Amino acid sequence: MTVSIYTSSSESFTTPPADRLAGQAARYKAWFDVFRKYKANITSVTLWGLADDETWLDSYPVSRKDFPLLFDVQLQAKPAYWSVIGAASPTASPSASASPSGSQTPASCRVKYTVTNQWNTGFQGDVVITNTGSAAVNGWALRWTFADGQVINQFWSSVYAQSGANVTITNAAWNAVTGANRGTASFGFLSSWSGSNPVPTTFTLNGGVCTLG
């Protein structure tokens, strides 16, 4: 397996953006969470290479520098590596942890929660947080409760924790700050569902209740 940082054939980066590395790490973690769940049925997992200095994706399907592996072109561990082994990078900033940084005073906010795709066993959700307050938010935690047993199993641009129906989404390392007066942060996730899939009715950001829409 390899996990490209690209989302379309028209993109090309000489240096991988931090948000793409965070998203890549989230995808690797989601895959390895599944592998560990079914470890009794899996013999091995093979990555097509060691580091980004040499990868088949540099020439196929588009000729451009790709960054799909666990180590970078200097053979240094990437966020994807730490997500796979389940440990924090020793050089990670505090905002990359599951606990958001900053004072954590309740924030004024608006949340747009959209089910962008749904099938018989799952759905994709996309969320945009808008800071409607007059002060920037440095480090955030968005919380809601699912009403009908939905369970998040993959995520990007964020860190998530779920206990029963209660969900807590915290910032990734690169999107901790939302500017005052309509600064935004966004993330997405995949979730399983059965029966019905109602939209959560209450969201809080750092303890402050958000409006919807």
Q: Is the pLDDT of residue 100 over 70?
A: no
Helix ranges (H only) for 14-172 are: 18-37, 79-85
Residues of the chain with CATH 2.60.40.290: 109-212
pLDDT tens sequence across 177-210: 888 888 999 999 999 998 889 999 999 999 899 9
**pLDDT average, residue stretch 113-135:** 93
Across all residues in the chain, what is the average pLDDT? 87
Give the pLDDT band of residue 89 (cuts 50, 70, 90).
low
Q: Is the pLDDT of residue 67 over 90?
A: yes
Sign of the C-alpha dihedral computed for residues 35, 24, 89 and 131 taken in this order: negative
Helix ranges (H only) for the chain are: 18-37, 79-85
Contact yes or no for 135/103 (Cβ under 8 A):
no
- Return the CATH class of domain 109-212: mainly beta
Question: Which value, in Å, is the radius of gyration of the alpha carbons in the chain?
Answer: 18
Among 49-63, 83-97, 138-152, 194-208, the range scoring the smallest mean pLDDT is 83-97
**pLDDT average, residue stretch 140-154:** 93
Contact yes or no for 71/51 (Cβ under 8 A):
yes
Contact yes or no for 101/176 (Cβ under 8 A):
yes
Q: Is the pLDDT of residue 103 over 80?
A: no
Contact yes or no for 133/197 (Cβ under 8 A):
no
Residues 188, 22: Cα–Cα separation, whole Å:
13
What are the two backbone dihedrals, phi and then psi, of residue 53, each rounded to the nearest 5 degrees?
A: -70, -25
Which two three-digit tokens encode residue 11? 């993109």
Helix or strand holding residue 190 (H, E): strand 183-192
pLDDT at position 107 is 72
In sequence order, the 6+-apart residues with CB closer than 8 A to the CB of 85 are: none
Q: Is the pLDDT of residue 102 over 50?
A: no
pLDDT at position 126 is 95
Which two three-digit tokens encode residue 67? 């960054």
